[in-house]
Structure 1
């Protein structure tokens, strides 16, 4: 008799449905989506299926079935029971939302019986060591009360471009997702050592012993290039990412930041320069895909997060500065990120409120980037912030 494998995925948005959820369903898991948006939960339960459209030279449609959906606000007890029985728990809610998800996960872990076995927890977020952050928040939850639970928390790196879906309706209540064929889902294997458990079988996952090179390669190539094109394009009034990459002013800036991050990645992780060049070129082609009409406003949203200490601009620039290597184009990207002004993006509003608060460039540099005054990158970023205040 076949054993039922169960997965719970928290966050039924585009990445949740079109990437993580798709692969969990394809792997044969009895899948439960969890979300707070009752419209999405109702649509999932009514439709019982949706389609993931891969667009490119050889388009492919994947029909996703075999799932249910629960609302964690209105049916919390059912969500906790599902978590208590799960073999795999994943999230795609945004890194800043993980502390809000943690009590729910903790309650599910607290309810698990010894017969449930080991549960694997993976936060599939666009942030460094997101699962570690979730784990720390889970451990602080009152329901666990410092008890040990049979769970393995593993960090991962995910990479798949999912553009704005406003024009995507399909036949399944707006649930269909359009995205690129390329994907990368890399999960660290090391947390399983000594646990007595093996990594779960999940289609599309690459298990590695050292996640850091993959995380930094993706973040400092794909995300840095994407955001650079978005911010430079936005301030020039360019709407689409692919149009920004074709712009004679924007493209050299994107190429410049990639030359700087390439220098870091090759020096730090020993990537083969020719192989990494191919990786860069492939990802520029992905970003410019004419079948993915992504906008500079969408890619540029959440500038406060993207200016963070370990994020796509400050992260590589800080390490380059420590090595005495050039950061001119990364500083240029920081400058236009500070100029990103979208009234529909809450973080953009918050950013400009900070810039208009009367705080000094010195203080704002610390607040916005997390850089310490003693860091070699600090003076250059402070100068960029000061020029923004003077503009």
Structure 2
């Protein structure tokens, strides 16, 4: 009997990462997507390929799937699903919960698996489901952490370019049974694992995205290999690795291996990715439990000098204003105070705003290293 999976979200992670594991494990896939144009393309073409950056394996054919929108009748596909996965962004899990509750009784929920960035997206989905069902949810909401880069291949309708990543960690405590994916690794205490990823891997990704954007890079690997950006990465890891090792009660060697693997990936010029794509949603990424402010607090609490994170926050504010802001005027201090609920005299706010102002005043000639040293002197 064919196993059936539903994937909420047919973007780069949904069809370029989750679909590969599902295909290799023998699942028939139904994508649920808000973008009607994308749904029509999937149903018209009926297949697409996942290619790999290093050409280290044969492209994977994804076929025998179907695609629906949230407005379609999802009753039968949800009731028949053996597993439901999400790749929609943590902020959209409320809509997923509402969709599930519309068609399924609480006792009909199959295994759920989130594939989102955040410190605990499974908990977010569980809480939203508990609101919908007005009661507790049994142990069927698990999560994974994505370490794989994927992009759409330009000039194709649906094809994906992906890293050949076979590591698929998942939350054992939220999973009923075991996951039959190749490379699946069940982990306990997944929230700490997720936090470590956010505070290491995503912290570095944020630094590269926002500092790379300020320096005018479009390609992610080029930004990572920039002399100034690379120097700041090295400076950060000298203090961040021992702080995180102590924070998570792991060996420094283990933390350094984890961080070095991330840097190696980010510097790999064959892994094509984009600065603006990785900088998306800066308001969320500036949040208290996210990749910029949380590592800043960990560094401060371990008696380390954390000005680098203020530089990154200032660059994120520049990105926010220039790429995503839709208002008539932009006040960086007001933005940070609203996001973080801090006092205007908080050192993080003051130094981050100072970094923003310096970048804006010296947009074409800014030196990140000189700015960092200047902020340290303030």
Tell me the TM-score normalised to structure 1 length.
0.83
Distance 2:196 2:69 in 1: 36
Q: Give yes or no for contact 2:153–2:160 (8 Å, CA) kept in 1.
A: no
- Corresponding residue SS for 1:221: helix
Cα distance, 1:182–1:202 mapped onto 2, change above 3 Å = closer
- Report the Cα offset of residue 364 of structure 1: 4.2
Q: Does residue 1:106 correspond to 2:94, yes or no?
A: no
Alpha-carbon deviation of 1:349?
4.0
Give unpaired runs (5+ residues) of structure 2: 362-378
Aligned residue pair count: 359
CA distance in 2, matches of 1:216, 1:183: 21
Q: Secondary structure at the match of 2:59?
A: strand
Q: Which residue of 2 aligns with 1:379?
A: 347
Match of 1:355 in 2: 331
> What's the offset of the Cα at 1:133?
0.8
Number of the residue aligned with 2:246 = 267
CA distance in 2, matches of 1:364, 1:341: 10
Contact 1:187 1:208 in 2 (8 A): yes
8 A Cα contact 1:158 1:183, kept in partner: no
Alpha-carbon offset, residue 221 of structure 1: 2.3
Distance 1:207 1:307 in 2: 30
Does the 8 Å CA contact 2:39/2:69 hold for their aligned counterparts?
yes
Equivalent residue in structure 1 for 2:146, among 147, 158, 174: 158
CA contact (8 A) 1:168 1:176 kept: no
Distance 1:365 1:210 in 2: 31
Partner of 2:67, secondary structure, is strand
Shift of the alpha carbon at 1:183?
5.0
1:205 alignment counterpart: 184
Structural mapping, 1:184-203, within 5 Å: 184-192=167-175, 197-203=176-182
Residues 247, 298 of structure 2: 8 Å contact kept:
no
Aligned counterpart, 2:370: none
| Runs of at least 5 residues in structure 1 that lack an aligned partner in the other structure | none
Q: Distance in 2 between matches of 1:86 and 1:332?
A: 46
Shift in Å, 1:46: 2.4
Matched with 2:337 is: 366
For the residues of structure 2 that align with 1:121 and 1:205, how far apart are their CA atoms?
15
Alignment check: 8 A CA contact 2:288 2:340 kept: yes
Name 1:56's counterpart in structure 2: 54
Shift of 1:9: 0.6
CA distance 1:151–1:190, shift in 2 (3 Å): closer
1:25-64 matched pairs, under 5 angstroms: 25-56=23-54, 58-64=56-62
Q: Say yes or no: does 1:167 pair with 2:160.
A: no
* 2:372 corresponding residue in structure 1: none
Distance 2:138 2:26 in 1: 22
Q: Quick one: distance in 2 between partners of 1:148 and 1:24?
A: 29
In the alignment, does 2:230 pair up with 1:251?
A: yes
Cα distance in 1 for residues equivalent to 2:290 and 2:26: 35
* 1:282 Cα offset (Å): 2.5
Q: Is the alpha carbon distance of 1:256 and 1:106 closer, same or farther for their aligned partners in structure 2, counting shifts above 3 Å?
A: farther
